[in-house]
Copies of this chain bind each other. A is one copy, B any other.
Amino acid sequence: MSNSPLRVTVWHEHVHEQTSKVVKDLYPDGMHGAMKAGIEEYLGQTVTVQTALLEQPEHGLTDEVLANTDVLTWWGHAAHDKVDDEIVNKVHQRVLEGMGIVILHSGHYSKIFQKLMGTTCSLRWREAGEKERLWVMKPGHPITDGIDGEFFEIKDTEMYGEFFDIPDPDETVLISWFEGGEIFRSCCTWDRGKGKVVYFRPGHETFPIYYQKEVRQVLANCVAYAAPKSSAPVRLTADQIRPSLETIEGDHQADESLHEHQYKEAGK
């Protein structure tokens, strides 16, 4: 892999800031501004971060932007259904090709996360401003590098609770304890095609969570972890399919035209 800076795009639906004075006052540069600053604070010169918003043409995710994004972060809540299916399909394709994606907080209900998971991604929640304690479940994992101790806390937060309807994660990095009696897998990873998918729970429009040190550290670590790690070719091409290593002795008469058709249909 090359050593040029990691190209990060912070995607944000940017709705609450325009409909709620509380949110606007809390995040004067938008939540995307706070996320961008957090990533830059911890990854420094190793990244270049741009933002993209739902309200922009093609939601800010043009073919060119996607082709030049190594890791995409995704925050949505009030407008999941406003995201165009065609854009979702393009993002999905880019993840399978190797782009990392970090799904944040209420992004659990986004079309792109549901499409990558194959499940509803539903969960239980309660917005009571209670305490959350996030336990480190894999002490050697790069996502928790920099966390000083076996857990960190968020003083006032929205609760998310199990059952979180996701496939069993490849890695469960953090599990939260909530004051009110719930637990939640708050940071998980999955491989999909050549891409890495990370879910990170903390973050909310009416709590100042994206200003908290540990949250920014872990967010930045998630981005670095989701970065492409291999220059290997993405996928075979049609003419690589059929050659065999050995002389095969079977005398079966095959018509492979159907498969070839499907293969081309799939755009490969």
In residues 117-175 of chain A, which contact B (Cβ within 8 Å)? 117-120, 122, 124-131, 133, 135-142, 144-150, 156, 158-159, 161-163, 165, 167-168, 170-172, 175
> CB within 8 A of A177: which of B139, B177, B230, B268?
B177
Total A residues in contact with B, Cβ cutoff 8 Å: 97
A248 engages B128 (CB within 8 Å)? yes
Tell me which of A6-14, A53-61, A234-242 binds B: A234-242
Chain A residues in the interface with B (C-beta under 8 A) = 1, 77-78, 80, 96, 98, 109, 115-120, 122, 124-131, 133, 135-142, 144-150, 156, 158-159, 161-163, 165, 167-168, 170-172, 175-183, 190-196, 206-207, 228-236, 240-242, 244-246, 248-252, 254-256, 258-259, 262-263, 266, 268
Judge whether A150 and B163 touch: CB under 8 Å: yes
* A159 and chain B: residue at smallest CB distance: B244
Asked if residues A133 and B190 are in contact (CB atoms below 8 Å), the reply is no
15 A-B pairs in the complex with CB atoms less than 8 angstroms apart: A118-B118, A125-B256, A128-B248, A128-B250, A129-B252, A130-B250, A135-B182, A137-B163, A142-B229, A148-B232, A150-B162, A177-B178, A179-B248, A206-B252, A246-B246
Closest 3 CB pairs of A and B: A129-B252, A181-B245, A129-B250
B181 contacts A167, C-beta separation under 8 Å: no
Asked whether A137 and B117 contact (CB < 8 A) given A182-B177, A244-B126, the answer is no
